[in-house]
Copies of this chain bind each other. A is one copy, B any other.
Amino acid sequence: MQNSDQPRTEINTLGEFGLIEHLTRGFENKQANTIKGIGDDAAVIGDKDPVTVVSTDMLVEGIHFDLLYFPLKHLGYKLVVANLSDIYAMNATPKQITVSIAISNRFSVEALDELYAGIRAACENYNVDLVGGDTTSSQKGLIISVTAIGEAQKNKLTYRNSAKPGDLICLTGDVGAAYLGLQIMERERQIYLSNPGIQPDLEEQKYLVGRQLKPEARRDMIDVFAKAKLVPTAMIDVSDGVSSDLMHICKQSGVGCFIEETGIPVHQDTKLMALKFNLDPITCGLNGGEDYELLFTIDPKDLEKTKLLPDIFIMGEITEKSEGLKFHTNGGRIVDLEAQGWKHF
């Protein structure tokens, strides 16, 4: 397979997004009903309303999750939620999922029952049907692929590439908590590994651990938007981190942005725990992933509508591309926004 005469470029030299861009270059969309292909939270397909929205994710044991501290039931729940979040980020309603798994013989039927109990709980909570999938064996560990299918009115869809200078940058809920939850579980794991007799006490940090172990997607916001007759100009879900996900919007919309430190919603528990870990709370808020909040932009004329809506924070503003991506600190400094999202490679 590997011929030593041929050049060899390591995958990690491109990064995840660079690799996807590289591999899918040269592919052209030719189907009349392909409205949106690669490059958003989900693909959009259809000739007429409602159109179909499709998103897919692959998760690998040892890369995305550690079963030593991640119970299988929670894992099942979370992987569905993460996929549904991509559908909500299109301002669409998920209706169906498919789940494929590859498993080594280390897993018993009872272990898989736990996983599927979590998947079922998510299906019930979010009102989606499990309509297909594949089951096979793996050489090592558990690999899961989930595809979510939803529907939306074409003129309500929110893409990543349609933010305009002057738009306000908004965020639902708070960020950084899931990242701190992960740090806590990682710390407990280390304690457990060096002394298996000690039981982890996660109860005290229920909020942070809960944000990591049992996150919820912002289905409620899709209804809130509909009732307020508000269509964001662009939207993405916060899976990689606010910085990284905001950069996707800016890059694809061809715009710049600035966000204010005071605009980053960080929960009190997140702040306290960040300090315990010697981390900057705002850095956790900007770069922590897996919060599954919605990051979106609105036309300034919709500001009044937005003010009346619950749980929405205005973080900053979209600017001209030439102004770059900036972060205004409380101290009055202006620094470049940097992405430190999840790196799988």
Contact = CB atoms under 8 A, between A and B. Distances in A.
Interface of A: 1-2, 6-14, 16, 19-20, 22-24, 26-31, 33-34, 36-38, 42-43, 45, 47, 50, 52, 54-64, 67-68, 71-72, 95-96, 98, 100-103, 105-113, 116, 120, 123, 127-141, 143, 145, 147, 149, 151, 344-345
Given A9-B108, A54-B147, 8 more contacts: A1-B72, A23-B135, A27-B129, A31-B127, A37-B129, A57-B100, A60-B137, A140-B140
Contacts of A71: 1
A105 B2 CA distance: 13
Contact of A52 (B10, B52, B143): B52
Interface of A is mostly: mixed
A336 B327 CA distance: 73
A26 B130 CA distance: 11
A57 B33 CA distance: 23
B110 A8 contact: yes
A102 B1 contact: no
A284 to B, nearest CB: 23
A134 B57 contact: yes
Contacts of A24: 116, 130
Copies of this polypeptide in the complex: 2
Given A10-B108, A108-B10, A137 B95 contact: no
A135 B43 contact: no
B138 A143 contact: yes
Contact of A8 (B56, B61, B108, B345): B108
Contact of A136 (B26, B55, B134, B344): B344
A34 B123 CA distance: 14
Given A1-B68, A96-B43, A134 B7 contact: no
A231 to B, nearest CB: 23
A90 to B, nearest CB: 12
Given A2-B111, A45-B96, A147-B98, A56 B138 contact: no
Contacts of A98: 43, 54, 56, 147
Which of A19, A31, A38, A345 has the most chain B CB atoms closer than 10 A to its own CB?
Answer: A31
A260 to B, nearest CB: 33
A31 to B, nearest CB: 5
A45 B149 contact: yes
Contact of A63 (B59, B137, B141, B151): B137
A217 B99 CA distance: 24
Contacts of A63: 102, 136-139
